[in-house]
Amino acid sequence: MSTRTRLWLLIAAAILIAYPVAAWIIGFVVEGELHARLQEGLQQAGPYVSSQRTYRRGVFGASEMLTVTLKQGGAPSAAALPGLEGLASAGITVRNTIRHGPFPGGRTFALATMDTEILLPPQVAKRLDALFAGKNPLRMHTTLDWSGGSRTEVTIPAFSGQIAHTTISSSGLTGTATASRGMRAITFNFDVKTLSLSGEQFGARLDGLRFRSALQSVIGTLRVGDGAFTISHLEAQGSGPDAKAPLSVENVEIGSHSSATGDYITYSGKLATGPIKAAKFTASRQLYVLEGTHVYGPALAGLLDNLRAVGRAAANSQSQQQPVEALRKDGIDLLLHDPVIEVPHVDLVTPEGSLALSARATVPGLKRQDLEAAGPALIAALIEHLQAKADLKVDTGLLDKLTEGTPGNGDRLATAARQLEAQGYIAQEGTALVTHLTFDHGKLSLNGKAFPPSRAPQQP
């Protein structure tokens, strides 16, 4: 045997010995990473979720069984859907088949890969088997990369069938979720082309449902970033003699954006729709925007953590602590750092006219002793420091439409509008009524005039 051949044999033997050792060591790293992710997920899920976990590690892979159960009194969920009641008591069991690196399954160069299978209670699984025609209702494949991040691909196949006298069908779901090491940054991208429900008393259909989110941790458990939930078309209708008129909405968007500068958070939330038809109401556009600026991040993070702790204690019957108590420290700290709440847009456009509203409020100059008072004293302190302003513009045709069908209300509204206009509290611009509202140190004014008007002194 030549020297060169012996060298190659030694290299091959070293690889054969080193690979199992490397895979075995990687197994410990993967187990720790999955445990940390589970704890983070349970913390984010809140107080009404519990879990049981069994993990068996081998040389080249591992198996994990995880049962997640909703505690009694938990928030509404899929467990409350018709035909899925068994989830509330039995929970959902997840079986993860894990393959360790360096080349898990011989297919990729990664820390590990994981295939997830959902094991449902028999009574639920039987219903879903009929709905999915025996196909696996959920496929999840996760790749853990060498930096500690991950990418999960999720697929729900198309399905159609009946559950508890309700026909449900969908084109299915596709999506991905990514996370950095320690889940400091996470993203979600999910799409559902169609989803429809039809029962004896109702019917509904969604088209073009999309969910996008990209968040990162900034202060404690507080995350900031972008999120958007959109629906291209939504329609719903009832059946029978008492059914209301159909509802139809186009281009629904619920979005949010938040960012951090130092210890302060800026937040913006939006609800917008395109054309909407509901009963006698029709609009070509709706837009609602809420913003919060100069929000003190450490206090907000502490408040959210305390509220979760209160919820966990209540769920476990360990404490009767009320959420109000959690507001005392961190809620006060939030107000002491001069947050600003603003509604830059409330826009409604209809065939009869439009409405536009903007508003801004802040409470500068508050002191801790002002907020440690209770009852009327606390309210008086907030009113004394409150500074607010708002601008309102509404077409008279829209006001008439909104009061349609309420006998006498339209006449009373018109009379009140004429009186306010005569006193200078509102003005008319074309077909619209406009006013500017300010509230400063307990005093309200409309269009620069004190409101309500002071009474003239009685003559002797």
pTM value is 0.80
Domain-terminating residue out of 193, 220, 250: 193
370: part of which helix (H) or strand (E)? Answer: helix 368-371
> Is 304 within a domain?
yes
**Count H helices, E strands: the chain?**
9, 24
Same domain (yes/no): 120, 217: no
**Strand segments (E) across 274-335:** 276-278, 281-283, 285-296
Which pLDDT tens digit goes with each residue over 181-224? Answer: 888 899 999 999 999 988 878 889 999 999 999 999 999 889 99
Q: Of 143, 79, 133, whose CA–CA distance to 107 is shortest?
A: 143
> Is 125 within a domain?
yes
> Is 206 within a domain?
yes
Same domain (yes/no): 346, 362: no
Q: How far apart are CA 296 and CA 266, in angstroms?
A: 9
Q: Residue 382: what pLDDT?
A: 85
> Is 176 within a domain?
yes
Same domain (yes/no): 215, 250: yes
Q: Of 454, 428, 450, whose CA–CA distance to 441 is shortest?
A: 450
> Is 33 within a domain?
yes
Confidence of residue 81 (pLDDT cuts 50, 70, 90): very low
Length reported for the chain: 460
Q: How far apart are CA 422 and CA 406, in angstroms?
A: 25
Mean pLDDT of the chain: 82
Average pLDDT of span 396-411: 71
Same domain (yes/no): 385, 288: no
Domain-terminating residue out of 139, 169, 193: 193
Same domain (yes/no): 365, 323: no
Cβ atoms of 398 and 352 closer than 8 Å:
yes
Between the ranges 13-27, 313-327, 375-389, where is the mean pLDDT highest? 375-389
Same domain (yes/no): 358, 432: yes
Same domain (yes/no): 452, 312: no
> Is 426 within a domain?
yes
Same domain (yes/no): 189, 131: yes
Average pLDDT of span 410-427: 80
Is the per-residue pLDDT at 320 higher than 50? no
Domain count, the chain: 3
Same domain (yes/no): 307, 285: yes
> Is 4 within a domain?
no
Q: How far apart are CA 163 and CA 50, in angstroms?
A: 27
438: part of which helix (H) or strand (E)? Answer: strand 432-440
Helix (H, G, I), strand (E, B) or coil at 49: strand
Domain-terminating residue out of 193, 224, 247: 193
Helix (H, G, I), strand (E, B) or coil at 158: coil
Q: Residue 76: what pLDDT?
A: 45
Same domain (yes/no): 217, 259: yes
Which residues, 6 or more positions from 401, have their beta carbon under 8 angstroms from its beta carbon? 350, 352, 353
Q: How far apart are CA 119 and CA 133, in angstroms?
A: 16
Same domain (yes/no): 291, 404: no
Cβ atoms of 37 and 179 closer than 8 Å:
yes
Which pLDDT tens digit goes with each residue over 217-272? Answer: 999 889 999 999 999 999 988 766 556 668 899 999 999 999 999 999 999 999 99
Confidence of residue 77 (pLDDT cuts 50, 70, 90): very low
Q: Which domain holds residue 32?
A: 10-193
> Is 2 within a domain?
no
Same domain (yes/no): 164, 286: no
Confidence of residue 405 (pLDDT cuts 50, 70, 90): low
